[in-house]
Amino acid sequence: MVPIAVDVDLVRFEKNLLQIGFFGANDARDKNRTSRRIEQVVFRNGQKVKVAAEFRGSEKLGLPSTTDRDKFIALLKIMNEERVVTGQIANPVRFSGYRLIQELGLSRNGEIYEEIVRWGKRMMDTTITSEKVVYRAAKKVYSDEVLHVFRSFKRTGSSNLNGTDRQEHYEVMLEDWLIENLNSRYVIPEDFNAYK
C-alpha cells in the first residue's frame, strides 16, 4: 500500500486542556456523571508536589467528552487563522455553524446545529478547580483557582419562514487565562488533518 500524501495543517492546542484531561472519555454506563477528579504527584524543581484537577458540570449537560474536543480543535483552527490576520487571539470569537461543520468534515443537518449549541453550553458550564496543576504562562506560575474555558457562548441565526436556508452564527468569549496562554504560545502543535 502506498501512503496518501496529506498536507500538514497545524493547530495550536493549549497545553493545560490536554495535560489535565479536560476532555475525557465518557463511560456509557455512567452518562449522568457530573464530576471527575484527577490527582497525581509530580516533580517540580526537585520537589514532589501533589497536584489535582477537578471538573464539574451540570446534570443536564454532563462533562466535556472527546466529541467536544473535536469541536474545540475546529474552533482552535478558526482562531489560529484569525491570529494570522490580526496578530493575536482576542474576544469575542465569532464563527458560523457552517464553518465549524466544514472544518469537522461533517454533513450539514439540523441536529448538528443543536450539537454545537450543547457543546458551547457544556464548555461554558464546566468548572475546573486547579490545585497547582493549571499553568498560567504570562505569570509563569501554577495556579490554585477555579476556572472556566468559555466565559459566554451564544447563538444567533436566521432562516426562511418554512425553516429552509438556515444560517447560524456563534460567539464565544474565552476566559482571560486561556487567551493569555494561547497568545503566549503555551501550546502543543497538533496536525488537524491527521487528527480528523
Q: Residue 141, Cβ neighbours under 10 Å: how many?
A: 11
% of the chain exceeding 70 in pLDDT: 87
Instruction: Give the model's pLDDT for residue 29.
Output: 52
Residue 3 has pLDDT above 70, yes or no: no
CB 32 within 8 A of CB 59: yes
Instruction: Give the model's pLDDT for residue 10.
Output: 78
What's the one-letter identity of residue 196?
A: K
Q: What is the mean pLDDT of residues 133-143?
A: 92
Q: For strand 150-158 and strand 47-56, is the pairing parallel, antiparallel, or unpaired?
A: unpaired
What would the grid cell of residue 70 be?
473535536
Residue 112 has pLDDT above 90, yes or no: no
Strand ranges of the sheet holding 150-158, from the earlier edge strand across to the other edge: 93-96, 167-174, 150-158
Q: Give the alpha-carbon dihedral of 61, 67, 68, 73, to 10 degrees.
A: 180
| pTM attached to this predicted model | 0.86
pLDDT tens digits along 32-88 = 678 999 999 999 889 999 999 999 998 899 999 989 999 999 999 999 988 889 999
Q: What is the mean pLDDT of residues 14-41?
A: 81
Distance CA 132, CA 50 (A): 8
Q: What is the mean pLDDT of residues 150-161?
A: 82
As a whole number, the mean pLDDT across the chain is 87
pLDDT tens digits along 114-131 = 899 999 999 999 999 999
Instruction: Give the model's pLDDT for residue 47.
Output: 92
Q: What is the mean pLDDT of residues 150-170?
A: 78
Distance CA 85, CA 163 (A): 35
Q: Residue 78, Cβ neighbours under 10 Å: how many?
A: 18
Instruction: Give the model's pLDDT for residue 2.
Output: 52
